[in-house]
Amino acid sequence: MAAVSTVARVLHMSAQYLAQSGAKQEEPSVAKDLMFYCIPQKAYMRTENCTNLRRRPAGKAPAGAQPMLRACEKCTMYALVDNEKVPTISLDAYLGGGKPKIANLQASANKKIIAASQVRAD
C-alpha cells in the first residue's frame, strides 16, 4: 500500500512542477493518464503505453529495437483508444483500486469505428 501512495505522490508532484515551471507539454491524441482494459493483452494499460507499443516495428526488429508484441500486431482496439471510445478511468483512481470496464467490441458503434479504421489502414 505504501508503494502505491508513493507512486501517486511522485506523479502528482511532477505534474505540479510542470505546471509551476510553465513548461509546455505536447498534446497527444489521447490523454496520457487514463487506464483501460486491453482485451488482446488481457491486462490493464495506460493509453500512452498503447500508442507507444503500436509504434514498434512488427515482425523481426532491427538490432537494438524492441519488436511489436504479438497481441498488438492483430489488435483492433487502436481506433477505439484513439477516439476515446474505450471505457477509461484516471490513473489516480486505478491506483486507488478502481478498475475500468471492459469494452464491448460487439457493439454496433464500436464495430463501425473498427471497420472504418481497417478500411483506412488498407
- Asked if 87 and 100 count as a contact pair (C-beta separation under 8 A), the reply is yes
The amino acid at residue 47 is: T
| Nearest 10 degrees: Cα torsion 22, 83, 117, 68 | 60
What pLDDT is attached to residue 1? 47
- Find residue 44's DSSP bridge partners: 37
Residue-wise pLDDT for 48-106, tens only, equals 999 899 888 888 888 888 888 888 888 889 999 988 899 999 999 999 999 999 999 99
